[in-house]
Structures are given as structure tokens and as C-alpha cells.
């Protein structure tokens, strides 16, 4: 499916999510907007916890919301973030979020890293996580 990606809309939705971040420890807010192949948008923000381990990134929050509603095919995600709600730097997904993306997305899945709706870069999943461990690599997946 060759879908037109509404880049500026995704970035704007991700920017709106910064206000919902719960970050009393790092003060580093992150927002994400995930586009399904059906054209639906799921949003997420980062949520910290005093124990750190139970914290969740904005990207995974968006993915888990979508997956929990039965969506499993995705086209793109926009990610914005920075200290105290600023977006003066590009905010790349962490390794755990990249691995979640590999689980549910094709290698041409688009990651839009933005400072604003007019200032962004676009990478595909294979560019940000080359040589990934993906569902096809699971033990027995290729067994005959």
C-alpha cells in the first residue's frame, strides 16, 4: 500500500503530546504520533516512574495503545522531544523503542524526527536499526 504520509499533521499531534508527559525526574518530555496503514493516528507521551524500569517512552505508549485496539500495521511515526518541553534538538527513539518498531513494522516504516512541523528529518526503520533481530529471526521461524 502506497500511503501518503501527513508529516506535518503527525508532527503537530506529537507536539501536542508533550503537555501530557509525566517526567518529574528527567524533565525531558517526548511526544509521538503513530500512523496506521488504515490512516488512523495514535498518540503517546513518555511516562516516568521513580523506579525507572516501569517508565515508558512516548513511542511505545503510542504503539501499545494502537496494538491494544487491534491495530498491527503501521506506516510512520513522528517523534519530538527535549528538556522541559522544548524541541530545539532532534529526539531519536531509544533502542527499546526501535526494537518494538521492528516487531510490528516493515523495514520501510518511516520515522519522522522533528523540531517543528517545518523542521524534520525522515529515516526508515532499517536506517535506524540495521541488522535488527526481527520476527523472521525467531527460533524455528525458518525451520523446515
Q: In what order do the strands lie in the sheet with 74-83?
A: 41-45, 28-36, 74-83, 110-116, 119-124
Cα 125 off chain centre by: 11
d(CA 97, CA 78): 13
Rounded to 10 degrees, what is the CA torsion of 45, 50, 52, 56? -20
According to DSSP, residue 136 is labeled G
Of residues 4, 48, 59, 69, which has the active-site annotation?
Answer: 59
Query: Is 59 a catalytic site residue?
Result: yes
CA geometry: angle 61, 117, 30, nearest 5 deg: 30
Check if the beta carbon of residue 63 is closer than 8 Å to that of residue 41. Answer: no
Q: Which residues are catalytic?
A: 59
Amino acid at each position: 500500500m502506497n500511503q501518503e504520509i501527513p508529516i506535518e499533521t503527525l508532527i503537530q499531534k506529537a507536539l501536542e503530546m508533550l503537555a501530557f508527559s509525566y517526567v518529574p525526574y528527567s524533565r525531558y518530555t517526548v511526544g509521538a504520533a503513530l500512523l496506521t496503514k488504515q490512516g488512523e493516528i495514535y498518540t503517546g507521551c513518555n511516562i516516568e516512574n521513580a523506579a525507572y524500569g516501569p517508565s515508558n517512552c512516548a513511542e511505545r505508549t503510542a504503539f501499545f495503545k494502537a496494538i491494544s485496539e487491534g491495530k498491527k500495521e503501521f506506516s510512520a511515526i513522528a517523534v519530538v522531544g527535549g528538556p522541559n518541553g522544548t524541541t530545539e534538538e532532534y529526539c531519536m527513539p531509544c533502542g527499546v523503542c526501535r526494537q518494538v518498531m521492528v516487531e510490528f513494522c516493515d523495514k520501510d516504516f518511516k520515522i519522522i524526527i522533528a523540531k517543528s512541523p517545518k523542521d524534520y528529518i525522515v529515516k526508515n526503520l532499517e536506517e535506524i536499526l540495521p541488522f535488527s533481530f526481527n520476527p523472521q529471526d525467531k527460533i524455528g521461524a525458518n525451520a523446515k
